[in-house]
Amino acid sequence: MTSRSPLSATILRSPQARSDGPLRDCQDSRRSVPLTPTPSHTEARRRERHLLTHRVTLIPGDGIGPEVVEAARSVVDATGVEVRWDVEEIGLRAFERTGEVLPARAVSSIRENGVALKGPIETPEGAGIRSANLVLRKELDLFANVRPCRWYPGVPSLYEDVDLVVIRENTEDVYTGVEFEVGTVEVKELIAFIEETTGIRIRQDSGISVKAISQEGSERIVRFAFDETRRRGRSKVTAAHKANIMKFSDGLFLDVARRIAAQYPDVVFDDRIIDALCMELVQSPQRFDVLVLPNLYGDIVSELGAGLIGGPGVAPGVQLGDDVAVFEATHGTAPPLAGRDQADPVGLMLSAAMMVRHLGDLEAGDR
């Protein structure tokens, strides 16, 4: 069984180019293409680009979102790829205009088009939901968050030899939203149940969040990571966990990862305890190729990876489901910078380049 990913990759490089580290190129695409396009193929793609119009949902977002989104949109338009933009609102601006932070019309647009380019969004108080981003992921089943972390020459950073991909499970773990507030009847009953069934006493003044990791969710993301490693021409997958302590949740994730790894003999597999992984990433990030992690660890390590290459302003990302891809800014709304023309749009521009490759135009994506 192979995971269904709308994001595949073809590496355009010679066999010796693997040692080039951060200078090697990764082309993201839905379908296979020749490693070296022939003139006839290239000409056919140019003709197709003029004939084919892609529908893409455009979410300007909040804060600096409209500024960086407009910059990314102009870059896509400049490639010559025909895109019909369906502009929709999600977040604070949507809430102010419609009373809904996640309008059904916007969600339907993303689902119907299958592709979106999204700026950062804010979930206002009083919206009735914890996070519009979390709800969007659940609504569209965006189970995989892919964050390439590659250093580009000229970007200020303490590191230069960085070229890795963080693949984060996006729907489970402590982000399910199942929590019990301190002092409530429900949390007191839960504390009593835990003590009765395990003998472990939890302080009465505790708040509790549930960490849920399933076999199905773990298998889906791990298989996706191995398939993506093959498509990107990479060679190793590292699974991160805390299975030495959380044996029934992280332990399950690790067991599934080891079982799936045995089905990919051409891909090297290893694992790291999450705290050790963070230390090694800071010491020598070049050791790692593709990382696959449960939700919380993936959230943290994605930001660590962005820090290695110059910050979230230059870090692209995409959230993927079986039939939907949302390419997005990986940074926040930064309200103090809004309207001042000081926000760095490079990260979202790189996400837009990933989107263009995903739409099938590798040449335009590389430009």
Residues with a known catalytic role = 175, 242, 275, 299
Amino acid identity, position 211? K
Torsion of the alpha carbons at 99, 104, 107 and 111, rounded to the nearest 10: -170
DSSP assignment string, 243-273: TTT-TTTHHHHHHHHHHHHTT-TTSEEEEEE
Residue type at position 134: L
The Cα-based distances of 215 to 5, 142, 223, 258, 291 in angstroms read: 19, 17, 12, 12, 18
**Selection from 301, 76, 285 nearest residue 169 by Cα:** 301
- Give the span between the Cα atoms of 6 and 29, in whole angstroms: 8
For residue 16, the 8-state DSSP code is G
Tokens 């979202």 identify what position?
Answer: 348
